[in-house]
Structure 1
């Protein structure tokens, strides 16, 4: 019986190694917009001249070659933000929400594919801001951040996946939260309106509140957890734009 169990265990190990060889290395990378990111090429050979990095934003769409034969494709809009490290990893500077998607590192020697692919799924967290005024008389300064204005912060997670955002949230894969500087969920404060929405490629959570005098320099943070682990976050700090308001608040 022990010999049979050992054989079964050996079979599972062999099967696991075969499946890994077929599917290659898969990695999920979470980053906030504006940051720099490094995507590992775990199948690299000794010379990056064999390395090709391909990119897809949507499934079933035509891929784009970012790196071919270790050389950047200068026909891509973001080629200036890309660089290849000595270990063939791909660097992306100043990540934007447009950079999310599926990246594939593949090796070619004499035109022949070598080994399994290294697949990287890049997820990007991005926050945008919109302002309205609670006073009809302040239409001349719609861009100013000041007390009395209603501010809406929209936090969006951009992902390449076959699963809808609702599926990912309900399964516990992803969770988006707005929290304060102490890390307390702002859903517990009636002052804030927190709403969630989604489509196939975006998870969205918005925070809406009316700014108070004491909100100057206040920080709110949108954070992303993946399988209950904090992956990345984006901070928004209120800065009142009117110098007179700044001086008035200092004297309070």
Structure 2
């Protein structure tokens, strides 16, 4: 990438830094970790066949190196670590599969032809929501946090059955900070309904007012399901083996009962007779 290109990007970043809430068009996406997201490119040159003039670059923060993700529809070598999660659509949008917290940041779509940039950069701010569950005896704490680029422009809070956890729920404690929120409660409060069906993390873009709702789903839940599935499989295997051993033992016992021991009282000898059906009959 040319030095001129880097200077243009740096200037654009400075614009975002000094005017975070106005003048610059807001183009953002907020998704849950593990989901798939499509980042649109709004300045596509329409007379290109395979997005050969399109370049996607990524900024994890204003102070980290620029990473080129896509150049001429090909995944760039700088994005090798996550190349299996990236794809470019026919409209030159960038698709990211199985989004992680590290994917949060600023994405720039640029049109370059004959070494020169055409039009303005199209940018997308990607924020990634993560939820965790911590249980200590009978107390449960749910955390919802958002990985962002630079400043926090998002309001985060927990909802109970779609409503704010108000003062009437004194037994439920909530706390909020920049781009994160937590809720703490005793498991006895929800003994008949799984709390995963009751709590929702609400994320609001304070610039646009756009609201995103994320029903509780902790990353640890997937691990728990995996463990439970493994335990269930192990139990099934043990059951099958046990039944197999029992069946064989029962068959051996039946075979033994078919062989009778006959004592000849007259001469004191012992004769064995197989009273089972002869072979071939």
TM-score by length of 1: 0.68
- What is residue 37 of structure 1 aligned with on the other side? 37
Counterpart of 1:209 in structure 2 is 185
Distance 2:209 2:130 in 1: 18
**Higher CA-based Rg:** 2
SS of the residue 2:163 aligns to = coil
Instruction: Say yes or no: does 1:49 pair with 2:52.
Output: yes
Question: Which residue does 2:106 correspond to in 1?
Answer: 102
Q: 2:56, 2:68 within 8 Å by CA — same for their partners in 1? A: yes
Quick check: 1:25–1:42 contact (8 Å CA) kept in 2?
A: no
1:158 aligns with 2:162: no
Taking structure 1 as reference, are residues 151 and 27 closer, same or farther at Cα in structure 2, changes over 3 Å only? same
Aligned to 2:201: 222
Alpha-carbon distance in structure 1 between the residues aligned to 2:97 and 2:30: 14
Query: Aligned equivalents of 1:187 and 1:208: distance in 2?
Result: 13
> As a proportion of its length, which structure holds more strand?
1
- Shift in Å, 1:215: 3.7
State how many pairs are aligned: 191
Contact 1:24–1:117 under 8 Å retained in 2: no
Moved more, 32-41 or 184-193: 184-193
Gap change, CA 1:119 and 1:196, over 3 Å in 2: same
| Residue-by-residue CA offset, 1:11-66 (whole Å, 9 max, x unaligned) | xxxxxxxxxxxx98651222222221111101111320111100011113211001
The structure-2 alpha-carbon separation of the partners of 1:80 and 1:211, relative to structure 1 and needing over 3 Å to count, comes to same
TM-score (norm 2): 0.62
Of 126, 134, 141, 1:122 maps to: 126
- Tell me the CA shift for residue 113 of structure 1: 1.4
Q: How has the CA–CA distance of structure 1 residues 230 and 109 changed in structure 2, closer, same or farther, with 3 Å as cutoff? A: closer
Change beyond 3 A, Cα 1:220–1:26: closer
Counterpart in the other structure of 2:65: 62
Q: Check whether the contact 1:127–1:234 (CA below 8 A) recurs between aligned residues.
A: no
User: Which structure's relative contact order is higher, taking Cα pairs within 8 Å and 6+ residues apart?
Assistant: 1
State the secondary structure of the residue aligned to 1:44: coil
State the Cα deviation string for residues 180-213 of structure 1 (Å, max 9, x = none). Answer: 22x1112432121111233xxxx11111111122
Superposition RMSD on alpha carbons, in Å? 2.5
| Structure 1 residues 87 and 223: alpha-carbon distance in aligned structure 2, compared to 1, 3 A threshold | same
Kept after mapping to 2: 8 A contact 1:125/1:233: no
Alignment of 1:142-157 (within 5 A): 149-157=138-146
- Secondary structure in 2 matching 1:79: helix
Q: Equivalents in 1 of 2:119, 2:25: separation in Å?
A: 11
